[in-house]
Amino acid sequence: MIFTAITGSIGCGKTTIANILRDQGYLVYDIDKWVKYLYYDKKFLSIIKKFFPETFESDIFNKRKLRTVVFNNNSKLKELENLIHPFLEKKLRHIIRTNKNSGIVFVDVALLYEMNWDKYFNYVILADVDEQTQKERVMKRDNITAEEFYKINNVQMPMDEKRKKVDFIINTGVNINKLKREIFCVIESINNNG
């Protein structure tokens, strides 16, 4: 197995790259979906209620309220990460064990370096785009303000630092055909270097 991470900051195009890879028949795991699953797990929600009671209204969890709380208070964000990250790492290790003979396996993981997960991967691909495009994508997709975008973006490792650490950079601010060509060139390079 060649274990390959797809990373990048919010709105940089990780999901687009992941979807193109899935369409080509590659196995792609999405860490954000693992997190979303947690928010439907009653046991996990009871833990969230204990640490973040203000995010519940009449026993109904409000995810948007949680996002507001953690992105306005760095210590609350760390508290939430300490609850979520152990679950994610356990799941990642399971994925590694169960896919030993699967060729190239991709994992879409925004906080790769922040969680110190780069040690698990053979290669890292960075989804990259200019900040203005990134901001516009996120504001439109998540229906948030520019201020909210910057709060979320600023808790992630700066893109300049990520660019120095990765094996491949794919610019997602291009048309779909050019983007596919870039992705296929990266796959070819990974296969050649095994």
Residue 75, in any domain of the structure? no
Mean pLDDT score, 4-23: 96
Q: What is the mean pLDDT of residues 10-27?
A: 96
Look at residue 112 and tell me if it is in a domain: yes
Q: What CATH number is given to the structural domain containing 28?
A: 3.40.50.300
Assign 194 a pLDDT band (cuts: 50, 70, 90).
low
Eight-state DSSP code of residue 41: -
Is the pTM for the entire model greater than 0.85?
A: yes
28 has pLDDT over 70: yes
Q: Residue 17 falls within a domain, yes or no?
A: yes
Partners of 96 in beta bridges: none
Q: How many domains does the chain have?
A: 1
In b/e form, how buried is each residue of 20-52, taking b as 16+ CB within 10 angstroms? bbeeeebebbbbeebeeebeeeeebbeebeeeb
> Is residue 170 domain-resident?
yes
**174 belongs to a structural domain:** yes
What confidence score (pLDDT) does residue 78 get? 93
What whole-number distance in Å separates Cα of residue 96 and Cα of residue 120? 9
Q: Does residue 30 form part of some domain?
A: yes
Question: Given this model, what pLDDT does residue 83 score?
Answer: 94
Range of the domain at 99: 2-37+82-193
**Residue pLDDT, tens place only, 83-118:** 999 999 999 999 999 998 888 999 999 999 999 999
Would you state the pLDDT for residue 102?
83
Residue 193: band (very low, low, confident or very high) from pLDDT cuts 50, 70, 90 = confident
**pLDDT score for 98:** 93
Distances (CA, A) of 95 to 29, 30, 62, 73, 92: 9, 11, 30, 32, 5
Is there a domain that residue 115 lies in? Answer: yes
Any domain includes 57: no
